[in-house]
Every structure is written in structure tokens, then in C-alpha cells.
Structure 1
């Protein structure tokens, strides 16, 4: 580690750079500042490109690195180029509880990351030794984090790395949210096949798919909004019933989803409390299995 855990003293101005916490979410451009707050690099986001594209430039507008996401890859990949030549490729690991990335260098060797990307607290090492550290604790500026780079390292490359990885994490979060909605939709479909009293009545397959997706979104929102409140207010019931009260809660939330679907003229219906309880149980099991398989 370059700095001890818990150390809030910023590194020297010549080695510290400031980056925005949310980058290129709408394809906007932004500056990277040094520790003195002076503009030293600019990042251009290309929102209208099919593939996520970032361009790192110096203060004169000269292109230093061109970063572009590769499509149709099993794992998230962004290629970094200079003058049309690939200098590095960033790959997101498929396995692990936290986001992790490896950067393969064209001239040999690799950069590896370790830490928490969502909180912007991680280190970057090259073939073992740490060459950069990213942290929010050095700065008191909102939505900004710092990156300290060891002297003699490739500064543009190490600045491009957090830009690329943050974009992948943001995109990955959007994809996971979409997958969760799809998982709930599939779980609802399975439930209609198993549980009498939970059904969807449509005239076409496409309408049925859209209905399950919409109901899945409603069910997800209902759970996110109400479940934490119910957990707090009904914690005693959870304890007294050894957790069985959760079946009642989940059934009630499914009934509420059915009622809201009716208000929105969606052909989804749950007939009675017990159908809701069994239906919510099937939804939970199927969602859990699909979540394990898709690592959501």
C-alpha cells in the first residue's frame, strides 16, 4: 500500500489527480485535475456511439488514449489505443463477490486491481508492486475521488484505467438491474405454470412477455419500497414465527402487485391469499436459482 489504511493525508500534489465519481454517464466531457486543482487532462465521452467510447486528451486537445468497449464479449472488455495501436486491454473478472479488473499490457505484463470499485477504494499493481492507489478519503469534494500514481509510471494509462473500470461498473450495475427484472418476470411465468390462482391472460406471446416484464418491474418496486419498512415494523413477528411471517409478507406483496397491475390494466391476477403465499414462495425459489446461475 502506498498509504496506510485510514490515512487521510493527501499525497503530494505532483502525484495526486482528481477524477469525477460518475463519469460519462450521459456522454459528457470532464477534466482531470492535479492535486492543485489545475486542469491537466480531459476525457471526452461519446454517447452516440454504439460502443461505449472514451477519449483521453491533454490540455491542448491532443488524443493520448482512445478507449472503446468491445461488443459481444463474455466478460466486459475495453481496449485502449494510441495512434491506432492497442496499448492495453481491460478485462472484468467473471468470478468474485466484488468487481475486479485485469489490464493486459501490449508490451508484456499486466496491471491488477484490488479493492472496492463502487466505493472507489482500491489499488493498482503491476506484476506485484503497487503503482497507483485510488481513494475518496483524501478529498472533501463531492462526487470526486483521487488517484495517486508512483513516479515513473505511465500516467495517461493509469488515469485511463479508473475511467474505463468505472464505466464498466456503472454499465454492469444497469445490466444487473435489468437482469433482476427479467429474473422476476421469468419467476412469475413459472409461478403461473405451477400455482392455481396465479395467471396471466393474454392474446399473444409478445403481449404475455411484455406483461411479465411489466409485472416483474412492479413487483420489484413494491419489494424495494415496502419490504424494508415491514421488516422494521414487524421484526417481532419475524422472531416469534421463526421467519415464517415472511411468507405472509411476501404473499401480501404479491397480492398488492396484482391489485396495482389491475389498476394499470395489466392482465395479471392472483386469486386469494393462499395462492399469493404459494406463488411468492415459487417466485423466491426460482429467482434465487436464476440469480445464482446468472451471478446477479
Structure 2
């Protein structure tokens, strides 16, 4: 349970950093800071579920593209997972994450989220699982 909470907080922080850096990615909803923090954490949980359930299926289907693009398709798949998360939050609630367009907001957002996640992995010497 602790590993899930740590991973969720790190994912939420990565999403928040992406919303600050990337034009076209914004969090919608929340009138005060506590509500916005709750929205970020809920979106992080949804993003984690999308990555756990849908991403492996897409990666298996995309094996030929991994070979063809020497792995660069991974950025596009991560952007697709960000778009799916935005679609889920947009169509089920009136708050969440909003991605304006796939090219370049989602692509650049996926790169920023990956870099922030990589930075957290470098900081964490011991696995938090």
C-alpha cells in the first residue's frame, strides 16, 4: 500500500510539472488548493490504472513499430495514455486533466512526465516497493 501511495504522489507531481511546463495541458476544476491537490491525485490514480491496464496491450500490438522506429514509438504510446486519461476525466467528470491536442501537447507532456519520473527513479536509491 505504501508503494502505491508513493508512486501515486510521484505520478501526480510529474503530471503537475507537465501542466506547468507544457502549454495545452491543464488541470480543470477545484476552487481552492486542497481541491486541486485532490484532483491531481485522482488523475494520477487514473493515469496509473490506464498505464497498468491499457498500455501493455498497446505495447504488444506495437512491437513491429518498436522495431521500425528503434523504440521512439514509446513516446507516442505514452502520449496516447495521457490522452486516454484526459478523455476519461473529461467524459466522466467536470474536472481532471485537459490536453488540447495530441501533437504537440500530449507528446511534449509525455516527454516531461517521463523525464520527471526518471528523475524520481534516480533520486530514490532504494526501491520503494
Q: TM-score, normalised by structure 1?
A: 0.40
Q: What is the CA distance between 1:291 and its match in structure 2?
A: 2.7
Q: Looking at CA atoms only, which structure, 1 or 2, has the larger radius of gyration? A: 1
Which blocks of at least 5 consecutive residues in structure 2 are unaligned?
none
Q: Report if aligned partners of 2:12, 2:44 keep a CA contact under 8 Å in 1.
A: yes
Q: Which of the pair is proportionally richer in strand? A: 1
Structure 2 residue 120 is matched with structure 1 residue 290: yes
Establish whether residue 191 from structure 1 lines up as the match of residue 18 from structure 2: yes
Q: For the residues of structure 1 that align with 2:91 and 2:42, how far apart are their CA atoms? A: 13
| CA deviation string 1:229-268 (max 9, x = no partner) | 1121110001100111111111111001001011232232
Please report how far the alpha carbon of residue 287 of structure 1 lies from its aligned counterpart in structure 2 after TM superposition: 1.3
Match of 1:278 among 108, 119, 122: 108
Contact in 2 for aligned 1:270/1:276 (Cα 8 Å): yes
1:126-167 per-residue CA deviation (whole Å, 9 max, x = no partner) reads xxxxxxxxxxxxxxxxxxxxxxxxxxxxxxxxxxxxxxxxxx
3-state SS of the aligned residue for 1:247? helix
Query: Could you list the runs of 5+ residues in structure 1 that have no partner in the other structure?
Result: 1-173
Q: Return the structure number with greater relative CO, CA threshold 8 A, min gap 6.
A: 2
- The aligned residue for residue 4 of structure 2 is 177
Contact 1:238–1:246 (8 Å) recurs in 2: yes
In structure 2, what is the equivalent of residue 267 of structure 1? 96
- Greater share of helix: 2
- When the two chains are superposed, the root-mean-square deviation of aligned CA atoms in Å is 1.2
Structure 1 residue 215: deviation in Å?
0.4
Q: Distance in 1 between matches of 2:2 and 2:123?
A: 15
1:194 CA displacement: 0.3
Q: C-alpha separation between the residues in 2 aligned to 1:186 and 1:177?
A: 14
Are 1:231 and 2:59 counterparts?
A: yes
TM-score (norm 2): 0.89
SS of 1:269's equivalent in the other structure is strand
1:190 is paired with a residue whose SS is helix
Per the alignment, in what secondary structure is the counterpart of residue 199 of structure 1? strand
Counterparts of 2:121 and 2:5 in 1: how far apart (Å)?
12
1:177 Cα offset (Å): 1.2
Separation in structure 2 between the aligned mates of residue 263 and residue 186 of structure 1, nearest angstrom: 23
Match of 1:243 in 2: 71
Could you tell me which residue of structure 2 aligns to residue 255 of structure 1? Answer: 83
